[in-house]
C-alpha cells in the first residue's frame, strides 16, 4: 500500500479540510530526506513549497476555491523551469541558473493547487537512458541499488517508486519517460506531440520533445495530464485538448482491436521478456480485446533516424548556452570567441558534446541531404506505416524495452550500446503518437513494462485502454 492516496482523492481531502497541504508537503520532504541514498533528487524547493502549502491551507479555512490538485506534492525533472531552486538540467553549464519564469506545465499545475517540492535527477540535458550522463550523480534503481533506473527521467521515475511524492514530471524525446517507468516499475505516459506546452522546459530535440507524468497508476497519470494539456500561446506547436478531457475514462477493452508489433516481438527479443509480454497480451485478450499481429517494417530504422534528427536539433538548441547571458562564463578567456569555447568546452559533458558534434556534422553542407534529409524522409515512411496500422487496429502493443534495468557502469563506456536501449520507444516519438508504459510483472525481481501505443490525438482512448489493462495486468 502506498503512503499516498490516489491524486484526486488526496486533493478532495485537502479541499474538504480533512488533510492539510502543509502536512502533505512535510511528508514528501521527509521521505525525500529518508531516501537520499538513491540520489533521485538534485534539490528541494522546500521553502517555496511550505509557503504555497500554507496559503492553500489558509484558503481552505476561508472557504476559497483551491483547485483540482489542491495540496498534491509533486517532483519535476530538473529540466523544467521552476521557482524555488536552480534549474540545471543536471548539467554543469547551467549550475547557478535561477529561472526568471516557470514553465507552462508547472504554472498550470500550480494554478490547480499542486505543489512542486523537488527537482529530480536526469541525464544532463536529457541525453541518455540511465541517468549516468548526469553531470552530478547516478540515480539508483529503487528495486536494486546496483542498477540504473533508466533514463533520462530516471530521478523522476525513482522518486515515484520511492513514494517521495504522488507524481513526478518527465520529458520524453526518444523514450525518456517510458524507459525509466519500465525499469523501475511505474506508469509512464508520453502524450501526443504538442498536447502539453514545452514552454519553459530545457529544449532537447524540439520536433519530438514531449512532457508527461510518471505515476503509480494510470488514473493518476490522467489526472495530471488533464490539468497540464492544451494549447499555449507561448508554444506554437501545441494542439487543442480533447473536449472530453482525460479523466473519468471508460476503462474497457471489450471489442478493442490491439495489434502486436511483429518487429518488437522477433526471435531476437530476450525470451523471458517475450514471455512476460505475451502473458500480458493474453490477459488483455481475456478482458475482451481482439488481438492481431501487424508488421511495421520500417520501425527497426527508427533509432537510426533518431540519432540523426535528435543530435541535429540538439546542436541547434544547445548553441544558446554560450555563457554570456546566463549563468556564468569562463573568467580566464582573453576574447569573446575563447569565452564561448572555454565555457562550452568545460560546461558540457561528454554526451552533450557527442550529440552537438554529430548534429553539426549531419547538418553541414555536403552532408545535409545524405543524413538529415534522408532521416526526415524515412520518418515519413514510419509515420505512413503507423497510419496504415491504425487503419486496422485501435492500439499497438509490445515491450517498452528489450531488457530490464542493467547494472550501473554496464553500458556507460559504449554510447551506441546505450542508444540501443531506446530501440522500442523512439519510433513513437518520430511519429508524434501517444504511448504508455505499464508494469507487466517482474523478471528476477526487476520490473518489465508493456507499451501501448495509439494514433495521434487518441490520448483519452489510450488512457482508458491502459486503465483497463492495468487492472488485469496487476
Partner 1 sequence: MADLTRDDVLKLARLARLTVTDEEADRYREELSAILQYVELLQQADLTGLEPTSQVTGLKNVTRDDQVVDYGTSPDDLLRLAPASEGRHIKVKRMIA
Active site residues: 77, 152, 176
Least Å distance, CB 474 to partner 1, is 33
Least Å distance, CB 297 to partner 1, is 10
Between CA 125 and CA 282 the distance in angstroms is 39
Least Å distance, CB 421 to partner 1, is 14
Identify whether the C-beta of residue 396 lies closer than 8 Å to the C-beta of residue 261.
yes
Is residue 431 part of the contact set for partner 1 (CB under 8 A)? yes
Give the cell for residue 102. Answer: 516557470
Least Å distance, CB 390 to partner 1, is 14
Site for partner 1 in 450-469 (CB under 8 A): 456
Identify whether the C-beta of residue 211 lies closer than 8 Å to the C-beta of residue 171.
yes
Of 250 and 364, CB closest to partner 1? 364
Collapsing DSSP to helix, strand or coil, 472 comes out as helix
Give the cell for residue 352. Answer: 552533450
**Which one of 12, 92, 136, 237 is in contact with partner 1 (CB under 8 A)?**
237
Between CA 458 and CA 237 the distance in angstroms is 17
Is residue 98 part of the contact set for partner 1 (CB under 8 A)? yes
**Which one of 308, 403, 468, 473 is in contact with partner 1 (CB under 8 A)?**
308
Between CA 415 and CA 10 the distance in angstroms is 42
Of 250 and 319, CB closest to partner 1? 319
- What one-character DSSP code corresponds to residue 372? I
**Which one of 193, 390, 395, 406 is in contact with partner 1 (CB under 8 A)?**
193
Binding mask 130-169 for partner 1 (x = CB under 8 A): ----------------------------------------
H helix intervals, 72-217: 104-111, 154-161, 178-184
**Which one of 13, 95, 274, 374 is in contact with partner 1 (CB under 8 A)?**
374
Site for partner 1 in 309-348 (CB under 8 A): 315, 319, 322-329, 333-342, 344-346, 348
Give the cell for residue 6. Answer: 490516489
Is residue 373 part of the contact set for partner 1 (CB under 8 A)? yes
**Which one of 13, 274, 283, 353 is in contact with partner 1 (CB under 8 A)?**
353
Give the cell for residue 30. Answer: 521527509
C-alpha R_g of the chain: 21
Identify whether the C-beta of residue 359 lies closer than 8 Å to the C-beta of residue 348.
no
Of 136 and 326, CB closest to partner 1? 326
Closest to 438 (Cα-Cα) out of 281, 321, 331: 281
DSSP 248-292: S-----TT-EEEEEGGGSSTTS-HHHHHHHHHHHHHHHHTTPEEE
Of 119 and 344, CB closest to partner 1? 344
Of 35 and 457, CB closest to partner 1? 457
Is residue 307 part of the contact set for partner 1 (CB under 8 A)? yes
Site for partner 1 in 403-422 (CB under 8 A): 415-416, 419
Of 18 and 268, CB closest to partner 1? 268
Give the cell for residue 179. Answer: 524507459
Give the cell for residue 38. Answer: 538513491
Between CA 432 and CA 198 the distance in angstroms is 14
**Which one of 47, 65, 234, 257 is in contact with partner 1 (CB under 8 A)?**
234
Between CA 146 and CA 418 the distance in angstroms is 17
Binding mask 271-300 for partner 1 (x = CB under 8 A): ---------------------------x-x
Total of residues contacting partner 1 (CB under 8 A): 74
**Which one of 6, 86, 144, 207 is in contact with partner 1 (CB under 8 A)?**
207
Identify whether the C-beta of residue 159 lies closer than 8 Å to the C-beta of residue 180.
no
**Which one of 48, 55, 361, 443 is in contact with partner 1 (CB under 8 A)?**
361
Amino acid at each position: 500500500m502506498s503512503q499516498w492516496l490516489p491524486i484526486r482523492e488526496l486533493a478532495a481531502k485537502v479541499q474538504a479540510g480533512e488533510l492539510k497541504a502543509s502536512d502533505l508537503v512535510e511528508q514528501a520532504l521527509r521521505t525525500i530526506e529518508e531516501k537520499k541514498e538513491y540520489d533521485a533528487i538534485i534539490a528541494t524547493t522546500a521553502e517555496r513549497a511550505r509557503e504555497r502549502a500554507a496559503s492553500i491551507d489558509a484558503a481552505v479555512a476561508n472557504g476559497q476555491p483551491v483547485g483540482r490538485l489542491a495540496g498534491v506534492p509533486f517532483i519535476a525533472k530538473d529540466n523544467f523551469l521552476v521557482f524555488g531552486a536552480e534549474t540545471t538540467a543536471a548539467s554543469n553549464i547551467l549550475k547557478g541558473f535561477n529561472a526568471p519564469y516557470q514553465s507552462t506545465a508547472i504554472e498550470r499545475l500550480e494554478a490547480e493547487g499542486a505543489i512542486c517540492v523537488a527537482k529530480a535527477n536526469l541525464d544532463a540535458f536529457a541525453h541518455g537512458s540511465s541517468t549516468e550522463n548526469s553531470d552530478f550523480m547516478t540515480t539508483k534503481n529503487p528495486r536494486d541499488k546496483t542498477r540504473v533506473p533508466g533514463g533520462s527521467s530516471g530521478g523522476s521515475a525513482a522518486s515515484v517508486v520511492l513514494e517521495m511524492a504522488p507524481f513526478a514530471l518527465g520529458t520524453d524525446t526518444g523514450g525518456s519517460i517510458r524507459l525509466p517507468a519500465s525499469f523501475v516499475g511505474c506508469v509512464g505516459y508520453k502524450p501526443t506531440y504538442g498536447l502539453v506546452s514545452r514552454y519553459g522546459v530545457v529544449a532537447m530535440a524540439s520536433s519530438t520533445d514531449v512532457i508527461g507524468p510518471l505515476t503509480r497508476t494510470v488514473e493518476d497519470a490522467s489526472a495530471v495530464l488533464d490539468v497540464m494539456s492544451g494549447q499555449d500561446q507561448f508554444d506554437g506547436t501545441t494542439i487543442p485538448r480533447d473536449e472530453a478531457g482525460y479523466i473519468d475514462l471508460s476503462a474497457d477493452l471489450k471489442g478493442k482491436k490491439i495489434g502486436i508489433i511483429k518487429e518488437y516481438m522477433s526471435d531476437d527479443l530476450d525470451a523471458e521478456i517475450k514471455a512476460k509480454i505475451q502473458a500480458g497480451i493474453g490477459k488483455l485478450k481475456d478482458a475482451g480485446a481482439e488481438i492481431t499481429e501487424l508488421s511495421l517494417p520500417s520501425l527497426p530504422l527508427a533509432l537510426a533516424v533518431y540519432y540523426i534528427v535528435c543530435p541535429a536539433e540538439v546542436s541547434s538548441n544547445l548553441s544558446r548556452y554560450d555563457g554570456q547571458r546566463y549563468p556564468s562564463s569562463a573568467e580566464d578567456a582573453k576574447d569573446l570567441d575563447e569565452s564561448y569555447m572555454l565555457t562550452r568546452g568545460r560546461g558540457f559533458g561528454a554526451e552533450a558534446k557527442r550529440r552537438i558534434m554529430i548534429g553539426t556534422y549531419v547538418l553541414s553542407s555536403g552532408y545535409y541531404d545524405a543524413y538529415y534529409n534522408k532521416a526526415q524522409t524515412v520518418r515519413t515512411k514510419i509515420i505512413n506505416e503507423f497510419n496504415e496500422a491504425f487503419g486496422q487496429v485501435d492500439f499497438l502493443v509490445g515491450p517498452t524495452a528489450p531488457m530490464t534495468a542493467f547494472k550501473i557502469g554496464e553500458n556507460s563506456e559504449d554510447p551506441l550500446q546505450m542508444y540501443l536501449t531506446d530501440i522500442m520507444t523512439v519510433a513513437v516519438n518520430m511519429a508524434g503518437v501517444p504511448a504508455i508504459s505499464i508494469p507487466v510483472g517482474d523478471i528476477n525481481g526487476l520490473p518489465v513494462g508493456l507499451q501501448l501505443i495509439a494514433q495521434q490525438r487518441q490520448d483519452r482512448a489510450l488512457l482508458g485502454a491502459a486503465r483497463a489493462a492495468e487492472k488485469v495486468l496487476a
